Chains A and B, each alone.
Chain A
Amino acid sequence: MSGETLPLALPLSRLATRTREATNLYRELRKPLLRYLVCLGLNADEAQDAVQDAFLSLQRHLAAGGSQENIRSWLFRVAHNGARNRQTSYQRRFGAPLDAEVESSLVNQITPEHAVLEKEKFRRLRNAVRLLTESERECLLLRAGGLRYREIGEVLGMATSTVGDTVERAIKKLAEKCHV
């Protein structure tokens, strides 16, 4: 008799399956979530906390038999709301001057000539991003995280068509101001 046929083992096996699913989701989405939160302005520790809280909520959600549809946007939404709640310096990432750390990462990655060009691009971009509205910035960040327009709409509570218009407008602004 296998363990799965025991009455008490059935919920456990279901839980194990859901735990496996959650683990796979964690592997897949941890970095995009962290990146999104850091770019919103959280520091690494705050972002880690927010991501852990989001996955804890996911575990509870799945254990309670919650819907498994659109779980990606569900996670981003929970993380986004968590970030909103805990963040005191919202959007500081793009408001702050270009970090020496960011600059040094450029210098390490490419040749000095390219580094100068990339730095200039980044400076223009940072100035252009300041001109974006909050929803435009969030849409672009979620888009950079690989989310579809429908998913972005679910995270931010917007219609898919509105997301499309917002992304189009934001990219146009960046392209015009960056002159890249």
Chain B
Amino acid sequence: MCEFCGKLVAWLDRELGENDAAAMERHLAGCAECRERLAAYEQASTVFDAYCEAAFAAEARRASKPRWVVAACAAGAIAAAAALALILILPRARVAETPRPAAPQAPQAGGTAAPQVAAHTEVPRTVRSTDTALEATRPSALAAPTRRLQHNASNLAASAAPTSPARASAIPSEPPIEIAIPADAMFPPGAVPPGMTFTADLTISAEGSPERLRLHPRLAGFERRANQP
């Protein structure tokens, strides 16, 4: 190891003074070991820069992904969850509906179990078939973001699931507010027949302010029915 070894990167970065740089260049011309080190440092530096650029580009691409893709993923997750729910529920319903064929099928249990085991063993076999040095790492590397995406989608689905039905059912489930106003309170005495009331149909907007007020005249005989929820 020579005295110039510790300044190779600085020379590469043009951080040495003129005299030191000239001395380094003279040394490099005659030292194969330093030239080799220099090449390795240069390459490490290039790979580091390239990785930074790739990481930045990947993050930028991830951030610029259109929102409808996320929405589509969420919709897909909901559809998949619904399909899974159907698959899980329907066979149980069938078993419950047709308990009789279970007894004759009992002797075939060994026969039916065999394909199940075979189906289970197929999964690792397919994995093992890609068990090369490169391929073995690929599924794990690719699985992580997929899992992350599923989490995102399921989170979205979970957050969307309670809100959308609630939003849809918010309007019909709200009990109508009916306010019975005696006619005497609004009109001069004798202007309205006795027993006449008005029901105010009040519409309140989302922010809580009254949006519309409509008065419906009610006769005394119908008052009770109008006041019933």
- A residues near B (Cβ < 8 Å) are 34-35, 38-39, 43-45, 47, 93, 97-106, 116, 118-119, 121-123, 125-126, 129, 140-141, 143-144, 148-149, 164, 167-168, 171-172, 174-175, 178, 180
Contact = CB atoms under 8 A, between A and B. Distances in A.
Contact of A171 (B41, B137, B141, B145): B41
B3 to A, nearest CB: 13
A149 B146 CA distance: 40
B134 A116 contact: yes
Interface string B105-134: 000000000000000000000000000001
A99 B53 contact: no
Main secondary structure, interface of A, reads helix
A38 B48 contact: no
B177 interface: no
A158 to B, nearest CB: 14
Contacts of B134: 116, 119
Contacts of B137: 123
Contacts of A174: 44-45, 47-48
Nearest to B45: A171
Contacts of A116: 134
Contacts of A140: 48
Contact of A125 (B41, B51, B58, B64): B51
Interface stretch (B8-16, B77-85, B186-194): B8-16
Interface string B29-42: 00000000100110
Contacts, number: 108
Contact of B59 (A43, A119, A122, A171): A43
Contacts of B144: 97, 100
A122 B50 CA distance: 9
Top 10 closest pairs, chain A to chain B, by CB: A44-B63, A101-B58, A175-B44, A174-B44, A175-B40, A35-B56, A100-B145, A168-B9, A102-B58, A180-B43
Contacts of A106: 54
Contacts of A45: 63
Nearest to A122: B51
A74 to B, nearest CB: 20
Interface string B1-30: 000001111100101000000000000000
